[in-house]
Every structure is written in structure tokens, then in C-alpha cells.
Structure 1
């Protein structure tokens, strides 16, 4: 009778991914955010791997998790392995769908900066299929299938597309009641939650000798805050590049002459050291040309 001993099996790929992400990022919550699952799912997958190995990979405490010496020794090999797998998958996608480009960008940039430019980009690149995913923070391009990131950024790998400026804007009707930046003390001020500090940045220039605290609603969607400003609900602390069509049309005006540079320009980047597809390179160049052109209000 032939002998059929149990064949050793590899651990679950999901468990290995959970360990690599948690170890590289320093916690289960961070890994869960990157892998788009819950921290409990990461914890369960790591526990499965530890049970399979018969040894702990993390020390757990009320303050979080910390790699054991075994986990720390294993991490570099797993980072290299998943880097290689991601690079192979990236090239496979480029070969399979050479005309497709996937952009990751901020929701506000997607709605107010990129969307108005899409018709021109499609006309300039008729054979290209452009997909867009809105994210609050830039993704790790080594771990997710995006070809291009478009965010406010000033790190070494990002190439600026255009500078931006911070300034209050409102309808012409509201502007008639605003003669000096100090008048904002009694005005309804509209704020985006992501850029809540923009009022402070602007006030440091416009009101250097006065303490200013904006009073008014805060929005989690910048496009909604813009719509409220257009409806006359208050004075929005704006990014000029995002409201430029409304300023050009006169639907919104800047009641004061003072503006302040945004902390970072609108910038684009792809994975450093990777071989970008010709399609992604073409889109990158088209975006740079488009950034220098005005957009029309919709």
C-alpha cells in the first residue's frame, strides 16, 4: 500500500499579509486601515499564524502590540516578498490593460480640481481609461494598485503641479458687509474638517495682532462647504485652486486682499523606482499641462 503522509502546507496568504502589514506599520489598527479590514480581523489572522508556528510574533499589552525578536527577524524577508509580489502584479496589470490608469486622490481634488479637467484629459488621451478613487490620505503604492497619486504634498518624490493659496470667499451679497478681516468675528465662518487649520494660517497674515476663532459649521466634505458658500450660508476659508471657477464667474468673491500660501502644492507622484507604464506617463504629462489651464464653472 502506498504511503501518503500529510503534506506540509503554507500558512494562509491573508495571515501572512496581516502579519507583514501590522509589523511594518507598527500596529493592528494601522494594518487594518491599509488592508481595508477591521483591527479584529488583523488580530485573528495574526493569531492563526502564531498558532500555526507555535510561537508568538507580537507582544500584546494595553498600549498596543510590539514585535517579538522572532517577528522582528522575520519582517525584512516578508517586506521583500510582498514588495516583489506587488511589483509583479503591477507589471501584470500593465500588460493586461495597458490603456488603464488608476488615480488615487483627495475627495476635494477629485470633485473640484480633477473632475472639471477630465473632459480635456479624455480628449487629449482618447484611448485611455481613467479610474479615480477618492482617499483621505495617500496610499502606500507598494501595496495598492494605483498608478498615480494626486494630493497636496511637498515630499521629495512628489512633483508639484500648481501652488495654491488660502483665502476667505463668499457671495457678493455677503461681501458687501465685510470691510475688514476683523468683521469676520461676527460672521458665519464655514470650515472643512480636513483643513480646519486654514483659518489660523490665513489669520496669521490678515490679523497678526488679533486672536481670531472662526464661528460656524464644520463640514467633512469640502464640496459641500463650497455649495454652502455658494448658497450664501457664510464665509468659507477656501483653497483658491478648488474654487477658481466660481471666483472667475463671480459667483464667489474674495472680500479681502490678503491670502496665504497653502502648506503644500497640488502634486502628483508614482511609485519611486518602478517602471511606469507609457499610459501613466502620458497622463502625468497631460495633468501638468492641464494644471496651467483655467477650468470652467459647472
Structure 2
């Protein structure tokens, strides 16, 4: 009688949720950012990573100052999990077919979404009826994989991640804006830009150097700019300007509607920055829908000039 060969049973795979928590933390370098991306709590991500380490019998992260660094085992698993999740995403994208009926998930920074995209959404839908668009607000910077998104609309500076396809839409221009009442009260309508050295200036923490860059472009001493109230989001900054709290610095594109309606004035105009408005997507994404959307966005931005 021939001897029957037997093989040891392989151990089951770790939890997919644990692997997702690890992959996001390794890619983003932060448990908090991974939790936000995965829409779970900080504690949930930490527990998944501890369970994965217990399952594998080896630590994957080690504390380094106030941050995390990967162990040798963590580096090996990061490379493998990143490749595996990329393949899964690509396979799912192909199965969905990216047909015209499939929603295109577009990420936008919160202020850009509220002040520019949403007011133009009805016109976009009327002019691109074949495009179903789902808008997703973005608080944090976009990660290189654009996780969970088909594309993103943003303003920023090159170089861009090598894995992105980039559609340039318009050069960003910034300038001081002020309410009509504040401008009249302080005699700003006929004043030179140097008058701002004596005015309360409003800042946003997302772009702390905006006033200094503008002042240098105007030949003004940036060190003499008065300190002023700071706001976490551009949206709040501009509402404060409308309320007459001071002079704000803002991208022209995001205040175009306020200038048209007379809610804000731009007595000194706008100057170009090094940043561009761009529509970006993973390089693997089909280009047809993105090209149509990029062309529409470019026309809409050009119409504001």
C-alpha cells in the first residue's frame, strides 16, 4: 500500500480589517490620520494593529519621539499590503467598469467646496448630464493614493506625486478683500496698498504666509504687517471680512461671487502665486470622464477673469 502524504494546515490569514488598519497607518505615518481615513476611532485602529502584531508574533511599529516608525517586519508587511490593496482597488475599479452611470467621487478642500464648487454644481450637472458626481469634503491634505476618491480638485504647487495624472486648470491669484462698509469707514478705496500696514489683517492658519508673500509682491515690508485675528478655515476668514472684522487675504477664484454681488471689494486687485488649480486622479484612472470634467472646470474658472 502506498503511503499517503499529508501536509501541515496553513494558518488562516489575519483579519482584513487589521490589515487595512495597518496599511493605512504605515502609509500615512499616523494612527490618527488612519482612523480619519477609515472613519473609525483612534482606539479602534490601535486595537487592530495590536491584534495583528499578536497574530504575527512580532512588533510592526516602534515609537520614535512623538511619532511611529516601522520595524523590519513592518516594512516587509507594508510593501506587501500596499501592493495587495492597490491590486484589489484596481480590480474593483475594472469590475465597476467606470461607466458613465458610475458616480465619480470628487474630493475637494472644505472651503473650495463650499465657496466655489457647490454654487456651480447645478450648472455643471446641466452641462455635463452624463456625469454623476459625488462630492467629498477633505479636511486633511490628500494622500498620494487619493484613497477613496476617483479624483480631487485642489489648489497647490508642483511637483505632484508621480502616481497622479494632473489636469492644470488655472493659475491661482490672491489679494486683499474687504467689506464695502469697512473700506469706506477707513478710506481704503483710494488708498495705496501701504495703507494696510495700519489695518487689522485677517489670517487663516491653513496659509500662514499668504500676507507676507502678497506684501513682498507689492514691495511692502512684510515685517511691518500688523498681527491680526486668525481663523482655521478660509470660509470663516471670508465671513469675518464680510462682517467688517478687517481685511482678509484670499484667492480670487473663491471670492469671485462675493465681488460680483458686492459683499466684498478688492481695492488692490490680485496677484498670481506659484500655485495652480488642478484636477488630479490616480494615473490608472480612465481619462475620458476626467477630461470632460477638467475642460468644464477650466471654462468655469476662465469665465471669472
User: Please, what TM-score do these two structures have when normalized by structure 2?
Assistant: 0.82
TM-aligned CA deviation for residue 221 of structure 1: 3.0
Q: CA RMSD in A?
A: 2.7
1:225 equivalent in alignment to 2:206 = no
Contact 2:155 2:172 in 1 (8 A): no
SS at match of 1:163: strand
2:72 aligned to which of 54, 69, 86: 69
**1:199 maps to 2:211:** yes
Aligned partner of 2:110 among 100, 107, 116? 107
Which stretches in structure 1 are left out of the alignment for 5+ residues?
A: none
2:149 is paired with a residue whose SS is coil
> Structure 2: how far apart are the matches of 1:97 and 1:277?
12
Q: 1:96 to 1:54 in 2, by over 3 A?
A: farther
Give the whole-Å Cα distance in 2 for the aligned partners of 1:14 and 1:159: 34
Counterpart pick for 2:92 among 81, 89, 92: 89
1:208: Cα distance to partner? 3.1
Contact 2:100 2:132 in 1 (8 A): no
Local SS of the residue matching 2:18: helix
2:171 aligned residue (163, 169, 173) = 163
Provide the rounded CA distance (Å) in 2 between the counterparts of 1:253 and 1:205: 20
Does the residue aligned with 1:160 lie in a helix, a strand or coil? strand
Distance 1:207 1:293 in 2: 30
Gap regions ≥5 residues in structure 2: 1-7
Deviates more, 1:87-96 or 1:183-192: 87-96
| Aligned-residue offset at 1:160 | 1.8
In the alignment, which residue of structure 1 is the partner of 2:304?
Answer: 294
Q: Residue 262 of structure 1: which of 264, 273, 278 is its match? A: 273
Structure 1 residues 228 and 25: CA distance shift in structure 2, 3 A: closer
1:97 deviates by 7.4
Closer/same/farther in 2, CA of residues 29 and 186 from structure 1, 3 Å limit: same
Distance in 2 (CA, whole Å) between partners of 1:31 and 1:77 is 18
1:197–1:80 Cα change, 3 Å:
same
**CA, structure 1 residues 271+67, in 2 after alignment: closer, same or farther (shift >3 Å)?**
same
Alignment partners' CA distance in 2, 1:96 and 1:16: 30
Q: Is the CA contact 1:147–1:280 (under 8 Å) kept in the aligned structure 2?
A: no
> 2:33, 2:237 → 1: CA distance?
29
* Correspondences of 1:127-142 after superposition (within 5 Å): 127-140=130-143, 142=145
Work out whether residues 239 and 262 of structure 1, in 8 Å CA contact, stay in contact via their aligned partners in 2.
no
Give the alignment of 1:275-286 within 5 angstroms: 275-276=285-286, 278-286=288-296
Count, aligned residues: 289
Which shows bigger deviation, 166-175 or 104-113?
Answer: 166-175
Question: Do 2:100 and 2:131's aligned partners in 1 also have CA atoms closer than 8 Å?
Answer: no
The answer to whether the aligner puts 1:19 opposite 2:22 as a matched pair is yes
In the alignment, is residue 216 of structure 1 matched against residue 228 of structure 2? yes
- For residues 94 and 108 of structure 1, the distance between their equivalents in structure 2, rounded to whole angstroms, comes to 32
Q: 1:284 to 1:260 in 2, by over 3 A?
A: closer
Q: Is the 8 A contact 1:105 1:138 kept in 2?
A: no
Distance 2:182 2:168 in 1: 34
Shift in Å at residue 54 of structure 1?
1.8
Task: Give the equivalent residue in structure 1 for 2:5.
Answer: none
Aligned counterpart, 1:253: 265
Say if 1:96 and 1:53 are closer, same or farther in 2 by CA, change over 3 A. Answer: farther
